[in-house]
Structure 1
Amino acid sequence: MTDPQAATDPQAPDPQAPTAPQAPADRPDTRPGPDDPYLIISSDCHAGLPTEEYRPYLEARFHRAFDTFLGERDARRAAATRLGIRNEAFAARWFQDHEEGLRGGWDPAQRLKELDGDGVAAEVVFPDADAVDSGTAAPFGVGLGLSGDQDPDLGMAGAQAHNRWLADFVSGHPERHCGVALLPVTADTGRVVAEIHRAKESGLGALMIPSMWVDKEPYHDRRYDPVWAAAAECAMPVLTHSGAAPRHEYGDHLGIYVSEVTWWPARPLWFLLWSGVFERHPGLRFGVAESGCWWLPNLLWFMDRLYLGAHGGKKLSPFAALKRPPHEYLDRQVFVCATNTKRRELAQRYEIGVDNILWGSDFPHPEGTWPDTRGWLTKTFHDIPVAETRRMLGLSAAEAFGFDTARLAPLARRIGPTPADLGQSADQPAVEASWARSREVGRHWLTDHDFPVLGAQ
């Protein structure tokens, strides 16, 4: 039975929630003091080889197809220019101004230099270091363009090539990097499950699935249950990331693409939720990356109201696949890698759930905060309570992705910005008081009791 307190208090702990990794008892107490530097973990960064350099990581039988793929790059770039995706003047300036730092997309030593300069102690590493020319795309377009419409054999081959390289890339400093394995989940289930275990054994820590299944089975289909079970067993969060979209539908109208591009990676969330995937696999963690979190409050409000018996949902059959309201699954198993978190989103954090928001720098993409992350953080978090800032900038990501905060603490003390560096007031009681009403209201559709929460068991 649902705990009535959990139904009315969005911050109440869930007894079935996955336990966060704990430091061994013999470790020193690394809990930060109020003025200590922040332990910052970017939940959304990118790395990838220049595409032609993936050849050694690709099985030899795919080399001919890889040559064909490389030969078609000029056509793909021309299409991007035609759609207006590539701003020629901006691209030239970007590569010229950041030539050295951009090598951090594939050079481990340069990468650590850039992370340190940004004050970022650790990161979650997605594919595609180059978001301007697509010059670091994984073989056969399976990076951020990973989609259910790709050839199953080529898609898996390209994903495995990237995963092999990424495992090497993060192995030098595994405490600072969580590599995200590419997972063409719409392929043969046995091969997909095998790749999960292979990726785990190689040192990778999370899985990125396509945002779009296209003509394959949607994610509510039970054929994927072994995949979700394997991900939970391996403690590897499953994520979607913005990138894939039905671009063939947009013509030359770039505005249509950018209006929808964050919708596609969010869509699997409600497919997994309403079909009972989170109920059947309580150890599964799911995240949506680089899609902001501005869309979540209204969606959560709407889904909760349906489940809890609001007027518009009374005529519907019971949602038998769920045993608790949607917000409880969100708090137990879902997080949002809200890259470049905006002020508007932080104002809604008590509806979203402070612990559900994971900040990201998007390094080394130009739409991210690098190389001025400290300035971005000051503009965004200057009046946010320090305890909440610590959660959103790092501690929640550490729990979601299994980072060892004790190992990272000395580094954070050396490179991390302090609350004072971000312009945050030393008078934290006053800061807390300024947000008291918003925190009290929280998820207003629950705290206002505008429909029978406790009667909807």
Structure 2
Amino acid sequence: MTDTDRYTVISADCHAGADLLDYKPYLERAHHDAFDAWAATYVNPYEDLLADTADRNWNSERRVRELEQDGIVAEVVFPNTIPPFFPSAALMAPAPTRAEFEQRWAGLRAHNRWLADFCAAAPGRRAGVFQILLGDVDEAVEEIHRSVAAGLTGGLLLPGTPPGSGLPELYSATYDPIWRTCAELGVPVNHHAGSASPPLGDEPAARAVFMVETTWFSHRALWHLVFGGAFHRHPGLALVLTEQGSGWIPGVLDMLDYYHGRLVSAASEAADTAEAKFGAGLADAMGKGPSDVWRAHCYVGASFMRPHEVPLRDRIGLDKIMWGSDYPHDEGTYPYTREGLRLAYAGLSTAEIAAMVGGNAARVYGFDLDLLAPIAARVGPTVAEVDEPLDEPPADATSPVFAKGGSVRVW
């Protein structure tokens, strides 16, 4: 690539959803009266969904225009607004009663239908991530088939199983039909940050504790599926861990390899030790060790990478990293994506940058790079632009990637 060539930037972490009342046409008619009653008294708990900029979630033309202004040509679309019958974001809501559970399933189906239409409004430029609940595996499998048939190529959004949820843990074979269906249909399983933390209450320390623990609870999906043997039983399964950072991955893989080797070794010995019992059956269930499973099946939606994470790219796997802007969240890089890319990637080879900002996401989510090339040629950041180090952050930037202390680079 020359200095004037432009990168094809695909955000592997964006969010969207319908305005509250606009979900009604996507609900089964049997739920319309209940929806009217629910919507009449619902109070949205999220300030960003009440602000003047909330329509970024559903205004397709505005969204295309702003993403193009930011140098982005395509996006993986995670949910953001409140689906029908949920008190808060779908993945953060506590386990409901059976009646609420049925209504919430209807609400998620409505969101998935809306999302299919939203993605169709920008052909080839949006990979919608559809939602399920884990409390009914058969219904989840049906919804996976429906969503993929409707054109949602972003794959499944995997809820967490936080302590107190009453759900089987993610390593349970209970969920094998879900893994099998995603593997057979060739769509990834996505696990987004914030989806697995238990409720922490309203004490003053709760927000700080949430920030400390939320990514750890999200990381659990990795070792649950690895040690549970999901990838061994379903060789086509792919897992994407999104908005959880990426710098933690090499250390966690080292830890998982250590425990795997230690327990498998103990189980292979004739001695009847405690560790031998812990490791019994592990080798047969997993097939490969954790690092090998990572290399064969796993990816990271690294969102806006910090400079201190970039030197770890080879240990993480250059072919595993997918950059994301987190649009339209305040913590996202919009409208300073070009500056965020410069901050992280200035000085790297063009091949490495091209892979992380778009090539890997195109491969994982099925974007057509030939279709996107003319758009990138018009709006993408140039090679020379990204290669210029960022000396000062934008004064009004809201993304933590630009904050002092947000990286090892000192302003």
TM-score norm. by structure 2 comes to 0.83
Corresponding residue number in structure 1 for 2:387 = 423
Please identify, of 202-211 and 244-253, the stretch whose mean Cα deviation from structure 2 is larger: 244-253
Can you give the 5+ residue segments of structure 2 that lack an aligned partner in the other structure? 268-274, 390-411
Counterpart position of 2:370: 406
1:161 to 110, 117, 128: 110
Q: Distance in 1 between matches of 2:175 and 2:199?
A: 26
Kept in 1: contact 2:14–2:327 (CA 8 A): yes
Could you say what the CA RMSD is over the residues aligned between the two structures, in angstroms?
2.5
Q: Distance in 2 between matches of 1:239 and 1:140?
A: 23
Q: Report the 3-state secondary structure (helix = DSSP H, G, I; strand = E; otherwise coil) of the residue aligned with 1:344.
A: coil
Corresponding residue to 1:190 among 127, 134, 138: 138
Query: Residue 175 of structure 1 aligns with which residue?
Result: 124
Checking the alignment, whether the CA contact within 8 Å between 1:144 and 1:241 is kept in structure 2 is no
Name the counterpart of 2:338: 374
Please state how far the C-alpha of 1:146 moved relative to its aligned partner: 5.3
Measure the CA separation in 1 of the matches of 2:41 and 2:203: 20
Give the Cα–Cα distance (whole angstroms) in 2 for the partners of residues 252 and 204 of structure 1: 40
Verify the 8 A CA contact 1:144 1:243 in the aligned structure 2.
no
How far 1:311 moved relative to its partner? Answer: 11
Q: Which AA in structure 2 matches 1:208?
A: L
Quick check: 1:121 aligned with 2:73?
Answer: yes
CA distance in 1, matches of 2:146, 2:9: 29
Question: How far does the alpha carbon of each residue in 1:359-411 deviate from its partner, in whole angstroms, 9 at most, with x for none?
Answer: 10000000000111111111121122221111111111111111111111111
Query: 1:229-268 maps to which residues of 2 (within 5 A)?
Result: 229-244=180-195, 245-249=197-201, 251-253=203-205, 254-268=207-221
Q: Judging changes above 3 Å, is the alpha-carbon distance between structure 1 residues 337 and 371 closer, same or farther for their aligned structure 2 residues?
A: same
Name the CA distance, whole Å, in 2 between partners of 1:301 and 1:286: 19
Residue type of the alignment partner of 1:271: H
| Separation of aligned partners in 1, 2:78 and 2:64 | 16
Change in Cα spacing, 1:350 to 1:204, as seen in structure 2 (3 Å) is same
The correspondence of residues 218-233 of structure 1 with structure 2, limited to 5 A, is: 218-233=169-184
Distance in 1 (alpha carbons) for counterparts of 2:67 and 2:291: 34
- Picking from 195, 211, 229, the partner of 2:160 is 211
Which of the residues 357, 365, 370 maps onto 2:321? 357
Deviations, residues 169-193 of structure 1 (Å, cap 9, x unaligned)? 1112231100111111x13222111
Q: What letter is aligned with 2:22?
A: E
* Residues 41-96 of structure 1, C-alpha deviations (whole Å, 9 max, x = no match): 1000011112222111112332344345435543x63xx7xxxxx6xxxx69x946
Deviation at 1:242, TM superposition (A): 2.0
SS of corresponding position for 1:140: coil
Q: Is 1:386–1:424's contact at 8 Å kept on the other side of the alignment?
A: no
Given residue 82 of structure 2, which amino acid in structure 1 is its aligned partner? A
Match of 2:39 in 1: 70
Q: Which amino acid aligns with 2:151?
A: G
1:262 partner SS: helix
When residues 335 and 223 of structure 1 are mapped into structure 2, their CA distance, relative to the original with a 3 A threshold, is: same
> Is the Cα contact below 8 Å between 1:34 and 1:386 reproduced in 2?
no
Task: Provide the TM-score with structure 1 as the length reference.
Answer: 0.75
Distance 1:209 1:57 in 2: 22
Say if 1:298 and 1:421 are closer, same or farther in 2 by CA, change over 3 A: same
Tell me how far apart the structure 1 counterparts of residues 19 and 130 of structure 2 sit (CA, whole Å): 18
- What amino acid is the match of 1:139? P
| Residue 328 of structure 1: aligned partner | 292
Give the distance between the partners of 1:331 and 1:147, measured in 2 at CA. 33
For the residue of structure 2 that corresponds to 1:139, the secondary structure is coil
In structure 2, C-alpha distance between the alignment counterparts of 1:300 and 1:248, rounded to whole Å: 28
Q: How many residues align?
A: 369
Match of 2:82?
Answer: 137
Percent identity reads 36
**Corresponding residue for residue 298 of structure 1:** 251
Q: 1:71 to 1:293 in 2, by over 3 A?
A: farther
Bigger drift between 50-59 and 115-124 goes to 50-59
CA distance in 1, matches of 2:33, 2:248: 43
Structure 1: where are the runs of 5+ without partners? 1-31, 81-85, 129-135, 426-457
